Amino acid sequence: MTAVSSASPGLEGPESKNRLFGPLPDVQGEAGYEADHPARVGFFTDTSVCIGCKACEVACKEWNTLPMDDSQGKKDAMGLSGMSYDNTGMLGANSWRHVAFIEQSRAVDLPMPAFGRPGDDRTDAGLPVNPVSPQADSVLNAQTSVLNAEALSEFDPQTGQSGADKQIRWLMSSDVCKHCTHAGCLDVCPTGALFRSEFGTVVVQQDICNGCGYCVPACPYGVIDKREDDGRVFKCTMCYDRLTDGLQPACATACPTQSIQFGDLDELQARADARLATLKGQGVETARLYGRDEDDGVGGNGAFFLLLDEPEVYGLPPDPIVTTRDLPSMWKAAAAGAAMIVGVVASAFVGRKR
């Protein structure tokens, strides 16, 4: 067992670059693990093939014995959100997976094309195109991968439905803790209850947490929350107990469409890049990766997403930053303020005694 610090990368140290934000190639090594630690694992949630079945939510609740809660996070309450098929509402102490539902429409010009989706015939923009016969290539892809949108296009609920003058699509996305490279919750935890696991994930030690609640507003995604009657905070552990036994997390195991993919993070990132290129090639203009960029405000996510619209449409912040990025400035201002108090009081005592 290696000596592992539950402290986050500190402010000082010889190589202070990227310790508070920015890319961090070896996140476990930074947390104090020996070089022989396992590879960093993560989730790639491909929302373009999510069917909104909520198997992930159920599997998560079952495996982690999470209590029931309503769409406001109220424990042991059952209630309908009244806004969509989404009655989970949000991530919280009792919901570690949350499937978002967004029904969208857009106006289209008549007549509707009768030969498939917009962009399906485009062959010049995508990457994996067989130069001899694009058609053969797509058949091959369809046979080899359930993730290929060509194969799904005939029944894809996200793009297939169309009316006379408008198209309808449903966006569904299974949200989860992002297991950030620079995790605000982990940085601010004063007890060391939150720690970086050997898999690069961020986990709460429930026997240490004293319920100070600092991690709750520190998370830029609004993931972690306090269970009020318990007093402690809870969030996704990426099934730490299953990982240590060589199993996949419950949600990824239960997902029937491979929308939730679990694996080594670098492998998932390569897979996501290829998937994005495929979708772009098929004319899905709005596809984008979220949390994939290691230069973003949290140094990239351990759990990242392929989205079909802006992040905020799914309830995700468009440009999150880890709050501790600015902490050195804050400490400087606080030190200056403290010195000012001493200086002002001292100068008030100087001079004529009144």
Partner 1 sequence: MTGPSNDGHDNGRAPSSGPTGNEPAGPAPVTPGAGWHRAGGTDLTKPRRKRRKGGGGWGSGNREAAMVPEAEFSSYYGRQIIKTPTWKNPEVPIYFFLGGAAGTSSVIAALAEFTGRPKLARNAEYAAGVGALASVVLLIDDLGRPERFLHMLRVFKVTSPLSVGSYILSPFSALTSAAAAFRLLDLAPVAGLATKVVPFLPKVAGSIPVLRKASAVGAAAFGGPMATYTAVLIANTAVPSWHAPYDELPFVFAGSAMAAGGGITMALTPVDEAGPSRKVALTGVAVELAAMHRVENGHGIVSEPYHLGKAGKLLRAAKAATVSGAGITALAGRTRAGSVVGGVLLATGSLLTRMGVFEAGMASAKDPKYTVIPQRERIAAREAARGATADGTEGNAVEAGEASTITR
Residues 39-98 that bind partner 1 (CB under 8 A): 81, 83-84, 89-90, 92
Nearer to partner 1 among residue 187 and residue 254 (C-beta): 187
Under the criterion CB under 8 A, does residue 189 sit at the interface with partner 1?
A: yes
348 is a contact residue toward partner 1 (CB under 8 A): yes
Query: Is 8 among the residues that bind partner 1 (CB under 8 A)?
Result: yes
What is the closest distance, in whole angstroms, from the C-beta atom of residue 254 to partner 1 in the complex? 23
A 10 A CB-CB count for 115 gives: 6
Coil/strand/helix, residue 309: coil
Q: CA–CA distance from 165 to each of 106, 154, 194, 308, 330 (Å)? A: 9, 20, 52, 21, 54
Contact call for residues 286 and 309 (beta carbons, < 8 A): yes
CB 247 to partner 1: min, Å:
30
Q: Is 298 in the site for partner 1 (CB under 8 A)?
A: no
342 makes contact with partner 1 (CB under 8 A): yes
The number of residues that bind partner 1 (CB under 8 A) is 108
What's the rounded Cα separation, in Å, for the pair 354 and 351? 9
**Which tokens belong to 330?**
């804050």
Residues 58 and 52 sit within 8 Å (Cβ to Cβ): no
Out of 25, 217, 244, 273, the residue judged to bind partner 1 by CB under 8 A: 217
Applying CB under 8 A, which part among 29-37, 127-135, 137-145, 339-347 lies near partner 1? 339-347
Instruction: Name which position in 34, 256, 270, 331 contacts partner 1 (CB under 8 A).
Output: 331
230 binding partner 1? (CB under 8 A): yes
Closest-CA residue to 316 (of 189, 223, 230): 223
Residues 6+ apart with CB under 8 A from 62: 250
Judged by beta carbon, residue 78 or residue 339, the one nearer partner 1 is 339
**d(Cα 306, Cα 260) in Å, to the nearest integer?**
10
Using rule CB under 8 A, residue 323 touches partner 1: yes
Looking at beta carbons only, is 245 or 319 nearer to partner 1?
Answer: 319
How far, in Å, are 158, 290, 303, 340 from residue 172 at the CA level?
A: 9, 15, 16, 53
Amino acid at 201: T
| Spatial distance between the Cα atoms of 254 and 128, rounded to a whole number of angstroms | 29
Chosen residue from 196, 225, 281, 302 binding partner 1 by CB under 8 A:
225
Among 2, 10, 62, 68, binds partner 1 (CB under 8 A): 10
Q: Examine residue 329 and tell whether it contacts partner 1 (CB under 8 A).
A: yes
